[in-house]
């Protein structure tokens, strides 16, 4: 994969940051290598991590609850022959799961933050993580307490940067009053543009990078979705409203414009969907959930696409913000999202 993905250095809000944060134009989301989309091929997963690093994608996104620790161990294995300073590892914490993988809630108490980090460092085989972020807002713990605990770990040298995930603009601003928030990880795609109302403007005021996941609508916007007959055993999308019943066909029908534009550019719909996110601003870094090298190569190809203003307007007009059928998570999980339920 003889390419070199460009990188950008973010300095955040003037006067608030001690050091810059450099990120590639795309990040590799590693969740699917251990969880969520059914069984993954270990060797191919490791080869995909290696291909990403060789192409200049040095941002690896994981969570301590992905595969109940398996994902961190997999990343450790993939990185054993690489220099630690050449990789940016972002870790989510706080999600609680039972032995069957079901989510039980969140724990972001200061003591739990430090405990989770200790186990993460051991599993990854490193003495620091580049970015540490609560997976969700813990409704029982003030965000200031959680952020304060991460800030202590930054001061101690175990963490480089603070991040947040799926929080409202108000929560983001409260957190930033305690310590600079370097990035906000949140779902953002052609199908999910809710952050544009208040969360994205708040992030930009604060100098917070958007780490965008779900840029392919969990597969709805990908080139090959129509070719799949059924979801794999263990694929959590079978329980998501957008993939259930008539919603699936209604949502797939919305994606026709991406296929049309892809044909005009002689690229794929997957690449157009990623290019759309890239076109929304240099402070938005798409996370690509590639589990295989060919998926990674396809995603990297999106960096060469420059959508015109006419293309962007055409996509927005064809897929209105309120058009997708069904919520992005099941109702009980939607209630856990401060970004959806919190004050704007």
> What's residue 344's pLDDT?
41
pTM score, two decimals? 0.92
Residue 91 domain boundaries: 8-13+20-341
> What's residue 1's pLDDT?
58
Instruction: Write a three-state SS string for the chain.
Output: CCCCCCEEEECCCCCCCCCCEEEECCEEECHHHCCCECCCCHHHHHHHHHHHHHHCCCEEEEECCHHHHHHHHHHHHHCCCCCHHHCEEEEEECEEECCCCCEEEECCCHHHHHHHHHHHHHHHCCCCEEEEEECCCCCCCCHHHHHHHHHHHHHHCCEEEEEEECCCHHHHHHHHCCCCCCEEEEECCCCCCHHHCCHHHHHHHHCCEEEEECCCHHHCCCCCHHHCCCCCCCEHHHHCHHHCCHHHHHHHHHCHHHHHHHHHHCCCHHHHHHHHHHCCCCCEEEEECCCCHHHHHHHHHHHHCCCCHHHHHHHHHHCCCCCCCCCCCCHHHHCCCHHHHCCC
Domain-embedded: residue 234:
yes
Domain-embedded: residue 1:
no
Domain-embedded: residue 3:
no
Q: What is the pLDDT along the chain (344 residues), one digit of tens a residue?
A: 556 899 999 987 644 455 789 999 999 999 999 966 778 899 999 999 999 999 999 999 999 999 999 999 999 999 999 999 999 999 999 999 899 888 889 999 999 999 999 999 999 999 999 999 999 999 999 999 999 999 999 999 999 999 999 999 999 999 999 999 999 999 999 999 999 999 999 999 999 999 999 999 888 888 665 545 456 656 667 677 788 778 888 888 889 999 999 999 999 999 999 999 999 999 999 999 999 999 999 999 999 999 999 999 999 999 998 888 777 877 777 787 888 886 44
CATH code assigned at 202: 3.20.20.100
Domain-embedded: residue 2:
no
Structural domains of the chain, count: 1
Q: Give the residue numbers marked as catalytic.
A: 66
């Amino acid at each position: 994969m003889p390419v070199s993905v460009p990188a950008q250095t973010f300095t955040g809000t003037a006067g608030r940051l001690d050091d810059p944060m450099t990120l590639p134009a795309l990040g590799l989301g590693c969740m699917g290598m251990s969880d969520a989309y059914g069984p993954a091929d270990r060797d191919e997963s490791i080869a995909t991590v290696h291909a990403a690093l060789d192409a200049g994608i040095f941002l690896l996104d994981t969570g301590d609850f992905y595969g109940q620790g398996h994902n961190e161990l997999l990343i450790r294995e993939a990185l054993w022959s690489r220099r630690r300073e050449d990789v940016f590892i972002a870790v989510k914490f706080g999600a609680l799961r039972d032995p069957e993988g079901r989510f039980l809630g969140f724990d972001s108490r200061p003591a739990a933050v430090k405990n989770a980090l200790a186990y993460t460092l051991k599993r990854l085989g490193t003495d620091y993580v580049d970015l540490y972020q609560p997976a969700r807002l813990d409704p029982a713990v003030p965000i200031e307490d959680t952020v304060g605990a991460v800030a202590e770990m930054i001061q101690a040298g175990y963490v480089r940067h603070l991040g947040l995930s799926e929080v409202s603009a108000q929560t983001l601003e409260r957190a930033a009053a305690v310590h600079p928030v370097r990035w906000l990880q949140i779902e953002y795609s052609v199908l999910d543009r809710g952050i544009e109302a208040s969360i994205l403007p708040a992030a930009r005021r604060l100098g917070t990078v958007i780490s965008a996941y779900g840029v392919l609508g969990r597969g709805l916007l990908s080139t090959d979705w129509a070719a799949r007959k059924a979801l794999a055993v263990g694929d959590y999308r079978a329980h998501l409203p957008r993939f259930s019943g008539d919603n699936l066909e209604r949502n797939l029908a919305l994606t026709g414009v991406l296929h049309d534009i892809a044909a005009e550019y002689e690229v794929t719909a997957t690449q157009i969907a990623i290019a759309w996110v890239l076109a929304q601003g240099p402070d938005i870094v798409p996370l690509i959930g590639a589990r295989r090298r060919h998926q990674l190569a396809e995603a990297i190809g999106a960096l060469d696409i420059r959508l015109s203003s006419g293309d962007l307007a055409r996509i927005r007009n064809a897929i209105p913000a309120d058009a997708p059928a069904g919520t992005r998570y099941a109702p009980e999980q939607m209630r856990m999202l401060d970004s959806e339920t919190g004050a704007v």
